[in-house]
Copies of this chain bind each other. A is one copy, B any other.
């Protein structure tokens, strides 16, 4: 009598079979190998499935086939101010891309001091089929561990430490992005384009820097004193920018991150210099901050949607045990031009 209490028990495969006048296996085939059934039988079974609103029980299927159709992703605790917004954009598209094949993303967490924590548990419980790993910049202990235990995984991020690693990965050529940004600033007429990057210990930072360096070399610009390394926060960038702009010869600054670029914009505001017109600035990652910063920050945008699609494709390849066409895929970023790098008429 209480309507929200309990609903009709879910129909099972047996229910459908009985109703359609066939055996369980036939219903199973209708779902998994429809080509095995005669046309009329298939139609009849499908009609009953439709009528009853039947959906296979995931637990039962998972028990039998030993595959959960779940993909694990360790979701790190939010670090205020850092650009995990990037990861979030990636996850969004990852969810969409997996949906198409009936897979789902399961988030888990782990001890922040132990990069391996959490993987083992899910694996032994046969709770997930594969993992997606997003942070490869600090070495790849997870990848090493998963390879050792024979668990399928794909990383977003190349294996920096071990170029010989054979696992499938997708990454974006950061150096190409920095190169695009630098070339763009040079083309806008800025001669001496400086670089504001991360500390030398960052592989990603050094990779991006190499793109800046390459562009300057191609343009025949002397890089002496133009490359500066700082930590990733607005204030450090602001102060570095002040020092850099002191003598007035630097008129372009390519930055390793939007955060740092925004710090440069702050310094410009404090010096009454016009972004774009007096000094061109570019950031990296096209974060929300770049979109709302005044007067709009030109930034390198990673094709995260495409990354997610490639990652999912590789996951499927690995799961189906077929060797992926190309297990290491490098994608190219694009430059989103806003007013921070454009002269006002």
Q: Which residues of A contact B (CB under 8 A)?
A: 3-7, 10, 53-60, 62-63, 66, 68, 70, 75-78, 80-81, 83-85, 88-89, 91-93, 95-96, 99, 104-109, 121, 124-127, 147-150, 234, 258-259, 262, 265-266, 269, 287-289, 291-295
Contacts and interface: CB of A to CB of B under 8 A. Distances in A.
Closest 10 CB pairs of A and B: A59-B62, A55-B124, A59-B63, A88-B88, A78-B92, A58-B127, A58-B125, A105-B107, A262-B292, A95-B107
Contact of A150 (B4, B77, B291): B4
Contacts of A99: 108-109
A48 to B, nearest CB: 15
B124 A10 contact: yes
17 contacts: A5-B150, A7-B150, A10-B124, A10-B126, A59-B63, A70-B106, A75-B92, A81-B291, A83-B288, A84-B92, A95-B107, A105-B107, A258-B292, A266-B295, A269-B294, A288-B289, A289-B292
A16 to B, nearest CB: 13
B63 A60 contact: yes
A55 B262 CA distance: 48
A292 B183 CA distance: 26
Contacts of A6: 150
Contact of A126 (B59, B125, B259, B287): B59
B104 A107 contact: yes
Contacts of A269: 269, 294
B108 A4 contact: no
A155 to B, nearest CB: 16
Contact of A288 (B55, B59, B287): B287
Given A92-B78, A95-B108, A7 B59 contact: no
A34 to B, nearest CB: 19
Given A62-B62, A292-B259, A292-B289, A57 B125 contact: yes
A14 to B, nearest CB: 15
A245 to B, nearest CB: 16
A91 B5 CA distance: 29
Identify which of A57, A125, A266 gathers the most chain B CB atoms within 10 Å of its CB.
A125
A98 B198 CA distance: 35
A91 B75 contact: yes
Nearest to A93: B78
A295 B270 CA distance: 10
Given A59-B60, A60-B63, A288-B289, 11 more contacts: A58-B62, A58-B68, A58-B125, A58-B127, A59-B59, A59-B66, A75-B92, A78-B88, A88-B88, A91-B107, A259-B292
A291 B269 CA distance: 17
- Which of A6, A57, A269 gathers most chain B CB within 10 Å? A57
A96 B89 CA distance: 20
A326 B305 CA distance: 41
Contacts of A89: 78
Nearest to A151: B7
Contacts of A234: 291-292
A96 B109 contact: yes
Nearest to A79: B92
Contacts of A148: 3-4
Contacts of A95: 75, 107-109
